[in-house]
Structure 1
């Protein structure tokens, strides 16, 4: 069975790693800042008091920040990768519900929804013989079919793990702890998991030398 993955487009524009990281982490930093300093910000800008408690102010700021991030990314690269786009749309939808209903539950459910969605897409694609990981991560590297299959399986399971972890954290701890974990916990866990996949990527990587040998 042959597994499909994202084609490599030599004409696409790439962001520098630091700028890409800033666009991805910037909205999360804004979310954390407005949640931890929400009261002070409201005191300095009384018109923001109408938004409500810090978590609601942080949600509104998060929505603005992620919209700016996606706009800048689109302007610089003329396209939007699947993962940031889907995550951004869910943030806007669930953020709007959070503010409209004045219920922080919806913004807390956002990571669960997004991670379950990506996990289901990856594992569901494998069931039909398609490795969609390259599309999800906008991958620029090339792997063998077996490499894509195993890597997709691992990431699919990992996304469900993150969803379950998010449910445990927000149900078991305070809102402030959940926000801090979302910003300072999930990223290190994801980075550690990514590093553990490097041997697999190196083992199944397709290089120009491999092609010449064939």
Structure 2
């Protein structure tokens, strides 16, 4: 994506979610007639979200030539659980999807720790070069963070209104993820690997 505009990446990543929010707010409390059946605003927004996410993911793959494992897992679960919500006209499946995604990520990271495999570093090491201990700490923290998100999602969708869950999904979860990444800035600095260019310059001097 080096040669693309700087706004393209965030637009592709957050565009489908923002569109879901906009469609839900526009059709909230209304019934939409499709194929001879009545759908609520939430289901209609889900129906719009699924192909939009598929398209944005394909565009990212076309531009970069690769997709992160989390992107692939998220896309598959969105298609499966979003599709079930639309097919059965039941929003519970789509609301359950984030819980499953976060538990899945937590299990994968926890398994990597148990097996002493740096799976998180294998995905993010180019963007965030750290030593092995740094990756171990970050993996543990992220696994626990994903479990906490799963619990929060369950509490919100089971105990609060549909609108509250949409706000939580659209704005709350991204803010929490940003806060988590920012909150670990000290760990990134403490375990950062020496800059190779700087080390080479020092040896040359």
Does the CA-based 8 Å contact 2:29-2:40 persist in structure 1?
Answer: no
Q: Which runs of 5+ in 1 are unaligned?
A: 1-12
Confirm or deny that 1:91 pairs with 2:78: yes
Q: Which runs of 5+ in 2 are unaligned?
A: none
Q: Secondary structure at the match of 2:128?
A: coil
Does the CA-based 8 Å contact 2:30-2:41 persist in structure 1?
Answer: no
Write the distance in 2 (CA, Å) between the matches of 1:21 and 1:112. Answer: 23
Q: 1:26 to 1:87 in 2, by over 3 A?
A: same
Match of 2:187 in 1: 200
Number of residues paired by the alignment? 200
Deviations 1:170-207 (A, max 9, x none): 01101111011111111111111110111101111112
Does the CA-based 8 Å contact 2:31-2:40 persist in structure 1?
Answer: no
TM-score in terms of structure 1 length = 0.84
Match of 1:116 in 2: 103
Match of 2:27 in 1: 38
Write the distance in 1 (CA, Å) between the matches of 2:82 and 2:182. Answer: 32
Does the CA-based 8 Å contact 1:42-1:49 persist in structure 2?
Answer: no
User: Looking at both structures, which has the greater relative contact order when contacts are Cα pairs under 8 Å and sequence separation is at least 6?
Assistant: 1
Q: Which moved more, 1:101-110 or 1:127-136?
A: 127-136
CA RMSD in angstroms comes to 2.4
Q: 1:148 to 1:56 in 2, by over 3 A?
A: same
What displacement does 1:132 show?
1.5
Q: 1:204 to 1:49 in 2, by over 3 A?
A: farther
Write the distance in 2 (CA, Å) between the matches of 1:26 and 1:138. Answer: 26
Write the distance in 2 (CA, Å) between the matches of 1:130 and 1:94. Answer: 30
